A and B are shown apart, each in its own frame.
Chain A
Amino acid sequence: MSTITDEGKKIELYIPSIMGFEKVAMECAASIAKIMGFNDDRIDDLKTAVSEACLNAIEHGHGMNASLKVGITITMAESSLQVAVHDKGGGIGQIDLPVIENKIEDESNTRGWGIFLIKNLMDEVKFEKTAEGKNVVRMIINLKKRSEGQGSDIPEKS
């Protein structure tokens, strides 16, 4: 890459609150991660995390109101990539992470895995509320961490 300014390290996009458009943000983040040199495993982790953050914004933040846009800000740093997904919703508040055994027993509510996946796949995750009232999920993925020795058979988290 040729010399890039600080402002140039920030990429912003907006998607309508329609299921399926999360893929636009997901592929954009993946393309940037590839340019930065992330390996394929970590790019797959990033894709799932970005997709889930956008889905939460589309569904819960905006109630699938297609006229509301979900904003995605992707910031490249020396050794990490940050993705901030913002919506105009009220935020997620305190949520209990799901447990599969409970979901298997109570089939009426099998959903709610988005935050769980984001927290498990990203190196840092923050949930913030801006002064303008926007709800932001800020995720950071590091170039080096978890890049090696992580096969498909990772231990299950309880």
Chain B
Amino acid sequence: MNRDIEISVSKNNDVSILNIKGDVTAVTGEKLEDAYEKISAEGAKKILLLFDKESYINSGGIAFLISVASESKKREQSIRLTGLSEHFQKIFHMVGLTKYMSLFPSEESALDGF
């Protein structure tokens, strides 16, 4: 029933971009964590999570994102976020994720000065 998640990885100079399409839930979150672990193993220090405005994100997905935030703190990585709908921007503020991952209005602004 959960729409699957599709994650593609690209690079812009030294920024690793995870392009996330689909639902971010307890069921699909593991794929997001796996993709993050893979780019971390390759030495990524600057990471941009590019979300899909149509994505359904629930508390299970948020838990995976908190794990990523926790790991990134230990690894001294910097994570930026973009592409979230206004609703999920609000949710990320509410939960406090934006204390650990900076939110940007567009991909261009997120990459600018990263």
List chain A positions with a Cβ less than 8 A from chain B.
18-23, 41, 44-45, 48, 51-52, 55, 99-101, 103-105, 107, 110-114, 116-117, 120, 150-154, 156-157
Q: CB-CB contacts of B37-64 with A at 8 A, as 1s and 0s?
A: 0000000000000000000101110111
Specify which chain A residues have a CB less than 8 angstroms from the CB of B70 in the assembled complex.
103-105, 107, 110
Knowing that A23-B56, A48-B58, A55-B59 are A-B contacts, what are 20 other residue pairs whose CB atoms are under 8 Å apart, sorted by A's residue number?
A: A18-B1, A19-B1, A19-B25, A44-B87, A52-B59, A100-B66, A100-B96, A100-B100, A107-B71, A110-B66, A117-B91, A117-B95, A151-B86, A152-B86, A152-B87, A152-B90, A152-B93, A154-B93, A156-B96, A156-B98
Q: A44-B87, A104-B66 are in contact. Are A20 and B93 (CB under 8 A)?
A: no
Q: A20-B27, A104-B73, A154-B93 are in contact. Are A113 and B62 (CB under 8 A)?
A: yes
Specify which chain A residues have a CB less than 8 angstroms from the CB of B62 in the assembled complex.
113
Q: Which residue of A lies closest to B100 (CB)?
A: A104
Specify which chain B residues have a CB less than 8 angstroms from the CB of A18 in the assembled complex.
1
Interface of B, secondary structure class, is: helix
Specify which chain B residues have a CB less than 8 angstroms from the CB of A152 in the assembled complex.
86-87, 89-90, 93
Judged by a CB distance under 8 angstroms, whether B26 is at the interface is: yes
List chain B positions with a Cβ less than 8 A from chain A.
1-2, 25-27, 56, 58-60, 62-64, 66-67, 69-71, 73, 85-87, 89-91, 93-100
Q: Is the CB of A110 within 8 A of B71?
A: no
Specify which chain B residues have a CB less than 8 angstroms from the CB of A101 in the assembled complex.
96
Query: Shortest CB–CB separation between residue B82 and chain A, in angstroms?
Result: 13
Q: Which residue of A lies closest to B1 (CB)?
A: A20
